[in-house]
Chain A
């Protein structure tokens, strides 16, 4: 997964009104939308809300000028586990009903019912929209901006410091991962190659991972000592200067929050 980090940072490094928007606004809109989607009770009220949120997402996506293909590739990479749960749920409904409306008979005792499909649609629509918002956030905001934004929103200083150190080294180890993978590939070693004995593949991969672990442990020791030399102590904190939101950013925040809060409430009231 880490090798995709560079692509994410490339996307986030772009320039557009969405990229320039303060990270605080983007974080609040994204998390707000996710919470609103999860909080909405199951029922027909979901569809108008999903439409409103979808339009909001599409609007942001269009303004950010992120290539749709790159965005779709990021969404697709995350889908498998969620989709497999949904498919499983359709085949083996979590809450079986007494007299189900059978849509397709697959095997004796195994059928796709309208009720199970409905639950799957309810979950799937929310899942996709939540994923869309989260991926839009990280595709338009650099890691460092996310961190300062989170700090300004009140994330405790200890966490910002730790997460900041971690994300900085993510890129170092991301490159190390790519180098090690290339080194393995140039030696024609593929851990999934079934021509090789299984034990051999497992051992070699294990040693590769062990090397990687030792390297990151030693990097950690070096970083720790280097930071001590620079005066790091248990009271160290990350300095994040205060920065008020611009008037335009307040307007965007207000508008988006009106959709995020207003759409579910009005849909529920109308339904």
Chain B
């Protein structure tokens, strides 16, 4: 889902960069108000860990493999969509500049898709479903699946606006592929949360007690 350079024209890429910067600024404000700015090292180190999590091969059906994105996971475990924005921005910068995965000009679009949309869909999807069903694991699974599918659909719309992708066929192609990957993302997210609920329940309790959304 990492859109490479040249697939989005410069003017549109600049718009996505602007949106991304707004959310990065909001994430920094969240850090300062909710997490106390001193805790920045914790999130920076965790970002490196999330990057390592993305390296694991995951089994997708039909013998293909996929990778975790982790936006929903981070947002649920740390109790804020801004945690996902912050951590995935760091991960995407490293991927874009060191590995060449995702572009320089398109990095804004990638941050918007995977960090902002993934994080917000994952977090608020989880909160809404959890409020309805009271089942932590089911709601985390569905939220993680949505947080994989929705950013992929957004990416195909962005590529259509950019004129590099047909709308309907593109959405079907990207949608079906990421709906499949999303199942694995959901399964892994649930397993990770189950493990953490057993091993470090305090992490989840902290997240549950944090107020939702942006600091006023």
What distance in Å separates the Cβ of B58 from its nearest Cβ neighbour in chain A? 6
Q: Judging by beta carbons under 8 Å apart, are A221 and B42 in contact? A: yes
Counting chain B CB atoms within 10 Å of each CB, the highest count among A1, A166, A198, A217 belongs to A166
Contact of B45 (CB < 8 Å), options: A38, A126, A210, A220: A220
Q: Judging by beta carbons under 8 Å apart, are B52 and A174 in contact? A: yes
| B59 neighbours in A (Cβ, 8 Å) | 191-192, 198, 201-202, 205
| B57 neighbours in A (Cβ, 8 Å) | 191-192
Task: Given A1-B55, A212-B52, verify A82-B7 contact (CB < 8 Å).
Answer: yes
Counting chain A CB atoms within 10 Å of each CB, the highest count among B1, B9, B55, B184 belongs to B55
The interface bits of chain B over 7-44 (1 if a CB of A lies within 8 angstroms of the residue's CB, else 0) are: 11110010000000000000010001000111111111
Is B49 an interface residue, CB under 8 A from the partner? yes
For A39, give the chain B residue with the smallest CB separation: B10
Is A228 an interface residue, CB under 8 A from the partner? yes
Is A232 an interface residue, CB under 8 A from the partner? yes
Q: How many residues of A contact B (CB 8 A)?
A: 83
Task: Given A209-B191, A216-B46, A224-B41, verify A2-B93 contact (CB < 8 Å).
Answer: no
| B56 neighbours in A (Cβ, 8 Å) | 177, 181, 191, 205, 208-209, 212
Q: Judging by beta carbons under 8 Å apart, are A212 and B53 in contact? A: yes
Query: Which A38-85 residues have C-beta < 8 A from chain B?
Result: 38-39, 74-75, 77-78, 81-82, 85
The interface bits of chain B over 93-113 (1 if a CB of A lies within 8 angstroms of the residue's CB, else 0) are: 111111111011100000000
Q: Judging by beta carbons under 8 Å apart, are B49 and A220 in contact? A: yes
Task: Give the distance in Å from the alpha carbon of A95 to the alpha carbon of B173 in the complex.
Answer: 17
Is A263 an interface residue, CB under 8 A from the partner? no
Is A238 an interface residue, CB under 8 A from the partner? no
Q: Judging by beta carbons under 8 Å apart, are B165 and A89 in contact? A: yes
Task: Give the distance in Å from the alpha carbon of A176 to the alpha carbon of B52 in the complex.
Answer: 8
Contact of A166 (CB < 8 Å), options: B28, B44, B163: B44
For B43, give the chain A residue with the smallest CB separation: A220
What distance in Å separates the Cβ of B98 from its nearest Cβ neighbour in chain A? 5
| A209 neighbours in B (Cβ, 8 Å) | 53, 56, 68, 188, 191-192
Q: Judging by beta carbons under 8 Å apart, are A3 and B44 in contact? A: no
For B54, give the chain A residue with the smallest CB separation: A1
Q: Judging by beta carbons under 8 Å apart, are B52 and A203 in contact? A: no
Q: Judging by beta carbons under 8 Å apart, are B45 and A165 in contact? A: yes
Is B160 an interface residue, CB under 8 A from the partner? yes
Task: Give the distance in Å from the alpha carbon of A135 to the alpha carbon of B133 in the complex.
Answer: 47
Q: Judging by beta carbons under 8 Å apart, are A166 and B191 in contact? A: no
Query: Which A77-120 residues have C-beta < 8 A from chain B?
Result: 77-78, 81-82, 85, 88-89, 92-95, 119
Contact of A134 (CB < 8 Å), options: B45, B90, B104: B104
| B190 neighbours in A (Cβ, 8 Å) | 206
What distance in Å separates the Cβ of A173 from its nearest Cβ neighbour in chain B? 4
Is B6 an interface residue, CB under 8 A from the partner? yes
What distance in Å separates the Cβ of A55 from its nearest Cβ neighbour in chain B? 19
Q: Judging by beta carbons under 8 Å apart, are A220 and B192 in contact? A: no
Contact of B48 (CB < 8 Å), options: A169, A214, A221: A169
Task: Give the distance in Å from the alpha carbon of A211 to the alpha carbon of B104 in the complex.
Answer: 32
Is A233 an interface residue, CB under 8 A from the partner? yes
Query: Which A119-161 residues have C-beta < 8 A from chain B?
Result: 119, 123, 126-127, 130-131, 134-135, 137-138, 143, 146, 158, 161
For B87, give the chain A residue with the smallest CB separation: A166
Task: Given A127-B4, A127-B6, verify A177-B165 contact (CB < 8 Å).
Answer: no
Contact of A2 (CB < 8 Å), options: B55, B192, B193: B55
B-side residues, CB < 8 A to A, are: 1-2, 4-10, 13, 28, 32, 36-59, 61, 63, 65, 67-68, 73, 77, 90, 93-101, 103-105, 159-160, 163-166, 169-170, 173, 184, 187-196, 199-200, 203
Can you pick out 25 interface pairs between chain A and chain B where the beta carbons lie within 8 Å of each other? Answer: A3-B55, A37-B5, A75-B100, A88-B165, A95-B163, A127-B5, A143-B98, A146-B98, A162-B43, A169-B45, A173-B51, A202-B59, A206-B188, A206-B190, A206-B195, A210-B191, A210-B199, A212-B52, A213-B50, A213-B73, A220-B49, A224-B39, A232-B41, A234-B36, A234-B37
Give me 17 other A-B pairs in contact (C-beta within 8 A), A81-B2, A173-B52, A191-B58 excluded.
Answer: A38-B105, A78-B99, A78-B100, A85-B164, A88-B165, A94-B170, A123-B6, A130-B5, A174-B52, A177-B55, A194-B63, A209-B192, A210-B192, A210-B199, A213-B50, A219-B45, A232-B38
